[in-house]
Structure 1
């Protein structure tokens, strides 16, 4: 089975680490598409602290463009439908996973991920841009903020390393949905706590979370949504991998270093390659975790995307479908 282009822009970023409309008038078309299905929980204007300073949103946004990884799904989870969105996980259509299907009344204009078209964004006449999990550069922020108030990542957070909790808080503040965001965070945290309680064997167990691309293996470190997911279940990212972390969320692992991926639980998935590129790889077969049956290759692309999404909706899907697989592998 061929891997769908999971992690689209971020996968390209990971590989880079390894190698170093609608035709109608956007002002009239779905003018209320980004408004809430319910009332706002806070009064406007609101001021949101970000890495590039405080951003003031004067009025409740009516036309939201969601550019950061998972920003669109996070807005949808709070009842707000972006008029434009980036499709980081390569779903096509509405740009969201099956766990978020049916939340749009009208599909958004899809915007490129790594180099979004400023013209396409401006044509949507947004009154708010969400960019809370992205490359996090000053240039990107400066260009976007010339179009509309732009909510970037939190201060002190690196590229693509905004946690789902931080993202939910930022998006909730900007949309005037702080109460809804807090309730949703509590709900998801409770789901994690319940899963961890059901599987006490997860607590303190070391895990290696990896991907395989055309460039070979690579491992994820703390600050990446997949590792954070595992650690919320009680797992511990393998220290030998964590020690390699720098400013990126993904570290290359050469064939000579593949023993780094050996752990009481090893989880790996393919990006832009066949699953057989992992399972038939002789190097993969040398890992004790593989030989002992404690290695899990995620093949279902919806599950891989949910595991990688870092959104409340995707997380809940992954908790339902991935946790049993982790338990079986242990």
Structure 2
């Protein structure tokens, strides 16, 4: 695949031009673990929000920019040379559920405002940005560096589903069958958990957050609620009746009773679980009084649920399903 990064680097600083033309990152070894016969799958075309993207040959230098894209590539056997660390894991930029999948750590790239010079200097032959702001200017800049797999058609910013993410990344890497296997495995795990806990079926759930700016309840179209509905729960009708939002309904502290449901799940963000539990009006919610509440206090579990990648979701299911069963048994 002929890299397209030179057209962008020509307009950047001399420092990054030198790095791209002959710097240290240019001589880094390939991090693709594609099989020798992978060439047969190429060229491949992936349909994105900004049009069709053709990948001519098996990528050997992948940069993963979108939320969960690095973990998706790793699950498919490809190690990105650069990756964004959306949840500030540090180190290799992935959670403990993905530990040991890199033989060499990636260069960490910025998230909301990445350095395009840094990306170009890595000389990628494929950029993954399937779950991000979906900004056309961001896409234009990245696609001048290398073929860029952006959001799927019709997807809202940051709301690419796990299925779409895996499908698109697997197609771009030339391993669509492996992607289908991973998706089937996730679906099977959710189905097995739901079957093992018929008491979840039809129960109402609210998924909320207490951040540094206040309280919010996630919309049913978000993955944080979808995680629960795939286990058999139904969204809290009181939240569903609120005006439509993309991510989260603001909830004042005086209105916290609207969060009440058969199960209440809370993400502390820039807050601690202890601070959430110490809020008097929160403690007065019937579900909280009855013990039917999960306030995440383990950052690994919270981040696994939030990342919602094909790797992290398995970790989240193993940790969260027993917590749900325990809380509902407290009735």
How high is the TM-score relative to the length of structure 2? 0.89
Cα 1:271–1:192, aligned 2, differ >3 Å: closer, same or farther? same
Aligned partner of residue 85 in structure 1, secondary structure: strand
Question: Is residue 34–residue 77 contact of structure 2 (8 Å, CA) maintained in 1?
Answer: yes
- CA distance in 1: counterparts of 2:64 and 2:240, whole angstroms: 31
- CA distance in 2: counterparts of 1:180 and 1:78, whole angstroms: 7
Gaps of 5+ in 1: 1-20
Structure 1 residue 46 displacement after superposition: 0.4
Question: Is residue 83–residue 124 contact of structure 1 (8 Å, CA) maintained in 2?
Answer: yes
- Which of residues 98, 121, 128 in structure 2 aligns to 1:100? 98
Question: Is residue 219–residue 245 contact of structure 2 (8 Å, CA) maintained in 1?
Answer: no
Structure 1 residue 70 displacement after superposition: 0.2
Question: Is residue 296–residue 329 contact of structure 1 (8 Å, CA) maintained in 2?
Answer: yes
Describe how 1:37-186 pairs up with structure 2 within 5 A.
Answer: 40=38, 43-186=41-184
- CA distance in 2: counterparts of 1:36 and 1:224, whole angstroms: 33
Structure (1/2) with the larger helix percentage = 2
Q: Tell me, yes or no, if structure 1 residue 292 matches structure 2 residue 290.
A: yes
Question: Is residue 272–residue 297 contact of structure 2 (8 Å, CA) maintained in 1?
Answer: no
Partner of 2:26: 27
The structure, 1 or 2, with the larger RCO (C-alpha pairs under 8 Å, 6+ apart) is 1
- Which of residues 304, 307, 311 in structure 1 aligns to 2:305? 307
Structure 1 residue 326 displacement after superposition: 0.6
Cα 1:90–1:297, aligned 2, differ >3 Å: closer, same or farther? same
- CA distance in 2: counterparts of 1:110 and 1:184, whole angstroms: 26
Partner of 2:320: 322
- CA distance in 1: counterparts of 2:27 and 2:136, whole angstroms: 32
What do the CA deviations read for 1:194-239 (whole angstroms, capped 9, x no partner)? 1000000111111101111111111112332221211111111213
- CA distance in 1: counterparts of 2:234 and 2:280, whole angstroms: 27
How high is the TM-score relative to the length of structure 1? 0.89
Aligned partner of residue 102 in structure 1, secondary structure: coil
Question: Is residue 36–residue 81 contact of structure 1 (8 Å, CA) maintained in 2?
Answer: no
Q: Which segment is superposed worse, 234-243 or 316-325?
A: 234-243
**What value does the CA root-mean-square deviation take over the aligned residues?**
1.8
Structure 1 residue 243 displacement after superposition: 3.9
- CA distance in 1: counterparts of 2:83 and 2:159, whole angstroms: 19
Cα 1:42–1:168, aligned 2, differ >3 Å: closer, same or farther? farther
Q: Which segment is superposed worse, 267-276 or 187-196?
A: 267-276
Cα 1:195–1:288, aligned 2, differ >3 Å: closer, same or farther? same
Describe how 1:165-314 pairs up with structure 2 within 5 A.
Answer: 165-244=163-242, 246=244, 248-314=246-312
What do the CA deviations read for 1:30-71 (whole angstroms, capped 9, x no partner)? x31134367539611100001111111111111111010000
Cα 1:322–1:217, aligned 2, differ >3 Å: closer, same or farther? same
Cα 1:259–1:42, aligned 2, differ >3 Å: closer, same or farther? farther
- CA distance in 2: counterparts of 1:248 and 1:42, whole angstroms: 41
The alignment covers a number of residue pairs equal to: 308
